[in-house]
Chains A and B, each alone.
Chain A
Amino acid sequence: MYKKIISKGFLLAASLSLLAGISQAYAADPVVLTFSTVGDSREDPATVGKTAQDAIWLQNSKAWSRIMRTIQTQKPSMLFFNGDMIMGYGNADPALVTAANVATSDFYKYGQQYSFWRGMITGLQETGTYVVPVPGNHEVQSKPLGKVSQVANENAWRANMGDLIIDKSRFPFPTANLNFSGDSLDPNFSDPTTPDILATSQKQLSYSFDVADSHFVVINTDPVGADGLAPNVWLSNDLASASSRGQKHNFIFGHKPAKAYVYKTGVAPSGMNAASAATFWSLVEQYKATYFCGHEHIFNVSKPTFTTPATTTTPAVTVGGSAYQVIVGSGGSPFDATAADITSGVTFNPVTDRTYAWAIVQVHQSGLVDIKSYGFSDSFGPTSLINSITLPQ
């Protein structure tokens, strides 16, 4: 009788301790903040072949909506969209609109394309994922005017995206430090001490905010008068300020890569201006930040390095190799790598070079940060976890 009681008691205790162990394992280092990031969902009128709808509104609806459906189930608090949500690339100056050209004007087309994209993200916004927009070259530059950013296009950005930056009534972190009033966080072109050569206010184009102990920075990598340049002086001041506030994590979002992913031999790199990128990356490394971007329609994770050339007085210096650059310009725009590139095996990462991909970042209570990237192939196969990295505390 006693033996029976003892053995049953032992079994119960063992079961309870096992359950407790499992619960503790999950409670040990809970995730305190989750956000996702992707970019480049716009279609190209020259290659659009999906649907009649996409030919008009220039959006890869099938890929982009599937990405959003899965992101929705992954429940991030925010989605940073790293630019090129519209085809744009024209001149959205309202002064160019006449009674005769109103329906064909760029001003009209920009409104049409922005509206469609905004409509597509509404489901995410209404189910707890706040969409934070990042300007891309297709929003601010004009191709006919030499791939140069336009004042009118920066204004069109603010008119169509400004309410998202940041709508405090909808933002899921009521206690977040959203210091957006006025132009206080502008790169401040009027400040004669700043070497950021900016011709226009960057209000709602480059901005930053804090959520808990994470600092988020959005940069416009193609400001008017400084195409391809990161606002490094403003960024340096901003990161120093965040550091002084005690922010532990720095996440930077821009459109153009600091260092382009050359996915096959002979491809011309397409990213930031090289000199600006080297300075930018030294800041990324100094503040232990992670840079998420798009522009290249491909997925790639790397730890870029930059070498400044030797001079007569100084040797060549290499910076980088520690911080991550995550390119997720794979939200639906025509892939840079062609199907023939993959079948002929000339790309460096054939498994993921034509994958519609996005990243989910999980900040743990301990300070560990997981960056997981998911995607599905260009033939719309199953969704897979394609890359997983953990940043040190």
Chain B
Amino acid sequence: MFKLITTASLAILMFVASHANAALIADTGTPNPTGLGYLLGGNDYFAGQVTFSQDSTINSIQTYLNLDSSGYSAPDSFTVALYSNNVNNTVGSLINSFTANYSGTEGWNGVYNISQLVSAGKYWVAFEGDSSGASYIASDVAPNPLALTAFNSGSGYNNSPMNFALQVDAVAAVPEADSNAMFLAGLGLLGFISRRRKNERA
């Protein structure tokens, strides 16, 4: 019985190890806040292009924010949205949106455990304000700026160089070929050990 549990645990661990390769798909690094930056409010949104090299499940999306609005009363929220990518690398159509609750302090703020499935490809991650809520300042001068960014000031998204901070954390939805090979090899090894012990007992 004990051996069965040990074997099953090993198998589960190997499976998890081969599948839970969570990674920061996009990471601009943490900015050094100057107190200035991009306005995120009811009329001012911004977005960045993110590439997924394989089918993935997005866990979290966050940007580095500070409260700017005067009429703030906790809790306040903003929207994190996922858009498709047009062939000309502009913001496409809305795929899904999530409500992010502002943490109350300057720093990384966003949505977590969203389990958003995406196929491999390019997407746009957007931060959008609420006209009835607070506004925020997204700290600029991130160490590793995104290659493609866009803003929307009431007339749709327009590509424009920006330097806001972004982190997108995701897990590969389908294991890679080498992961599968390792997993199968592990299973084979377990089977071999089990069979050998059985033979020894016999």
- A: residues with CB less than 8 A from B are 22-23, 25-26, 31, 34, 66, 69-70, 72-75, 360, 362, 372, 374, 376, 380-388
* Contact residues, B79-111 vs A (CB, 8 A): 103-105
Known: A22-B105, A26-B104. A384 touches B39 (CB 8 A): yes
| Beyond A31-B71, A383-B39, A385-B38, 12 additional pairs, beta carbon < 8 A | A26-B104, A66-B153, A69-B153, A73-B41, A73-B135, A75-B70, A380-B153, A382-B38, A383-B151, A385-B36, A386-B36, A387-B36
CB of A26 within 8 A of CB of B42, answer no
Please indicate the chain A residues that have their CB under 8 angstroms from the CB of B37 in the complex.
384-385
CB of A74 within 8 A of CB of B135, answer yes
CB of B74 within 8 A of CB of A23, answer yes
Please indicate the chain B residues that have their CB under 8 angstroms from the CB of A385 in the complex.
35-39, 68, 137
CB of A382 within 8 A of CB of B162, answer yes
* CB contact between B36 and one of A23, A34, A376, A384 (< 8 Å): that residue: A384
* CB contact between B104 and one of A22, A72, A360, A372 (< 8 Å): that residue: A22
CA distance A251 to B35 in the complex (A): 24
B192 contacts the other chain (Cβ, under 8 Å)?
no
The 9 closest A-B pairs by CB, nearest first: A73-B42, A22-B104, A382-B151, A31-B70, A383-B39, A34-B70, A383-B44, A73-B43, A70-B43
CA distance A68 to B123 in the complex (A): 31
CA distance A323 to B27 in the complex (A): 42
Known: A384-B39, A385-B36. A376 touches B74 (CB 8 A): no
Q: How far is the CB of B63 from chain A (nearest CB, A)?
A: 13
CA distance A76 to B100 in the complex (A): 25
Residues of B in contact with A, size category: 20 to 34
CB of A382 within 8 A of CB of B44, answer yes
* Contact residues, B4-51 vs A (CB, 8 A): 35-39, 41-44, 46
CA distance A271 to B160 in the complex (A): 36
**How would residues 111 to 125 of chain B score, 1 for a CB under 8 Å from any chain A CB and 0 otherwise?**
000000000000000
CB of B154 within 8 A of CB of A66, answer yes
CA distance A70 to B69 in the complex (A): 12
CA distance A183 to B103 in the complex (A): 52
B180 contacts the other chain (Cβ, under 8 Å)?
no
CA distance A372 to B71 in the complex (A): 15
CB of A22 within 8 A of CB of B74, answer yes
CB of B41 within 8 A of CB of A70, answer yes
CA distance A70 to B131 in the complex (A): 9
- B: residues with CB less than 8 A from A are 35-39, 41-44, 46, 68-74, 103-105, 129, 131, 135, 137, 140, 151, 153-154, 160, 162
Known: A23-B74, A26-B72, A388-B36. A382 touches B135 (CB 8 A): no
Please indicate the chain A residues that have their CB under 8 angstroms from the CB of B42 in the complex.
72-73
* CB contact between B153 and one of A22, A31, A382, A388 (< 8 Å): that residue: A382
* CB contact between A73 and one of B36, B73, B129, B137 (< 8 Å): that residue: B129
Please indicate the chain A residues that have their CB under 8 angstroms from the CB of B151 in the complex.
381-383
CA distance A383 to B46 in the complex (A): 10
Q: How far is the CB of B54 from chain A (nearest CB, A)?
A: 31
5 A-B contacts (beta carbon < 8 Å): A22-B103, A26-B72, A26-B74, A69-B43, A382-B162
CA distance A360 to B46 in the complex (A): 21
CB of B104 within 8 A of CB of A70, answer no
Q: How far is the CB of B18 from chain A (nearest CB, A)?
A: 33
CB of A372 within 8 A of CB of B46, answer no
Known: A23-B74, A31-B70. A74 touches B41 (CB 8 A): yes
Q: Which of A26, A73, A362, A376 has the most CB of B within 10 A?
A: A73
Q: How far is the CB of A372 from chain B (nearest CB, A)?
A: 7
CA distance A388 to B137 in the complex (A): 12
CA distance A23 to B76 in the complex (A): 11
Please indicate the chain A residues that have their CB under 8 angstroms from the CB of B162 in the complex.
382
List the A residue with the shortest CB-CB distance to B76: A26
CA distance A387 to B44 in the complex (A): 18
Please indicate the chain B residues that have their CB under 8 angstroms from the CB of A73 in the complex.
41-44, 129, 131, 135
Q: How far is the CB of B118 from chain A (nearest CB, A)?
A: 26
CB of A376 within 8 A of CB of B153, answer yes
Please indicate the chain B residues that have their CB under 8 angstroms from the CB of A69 in the complex.
43, 153-154
Q: How far is the CB of A7 from chain B (nearest CB, A)?
A: 23
List the B residue with the shortest CB-CB distance to A26: B74
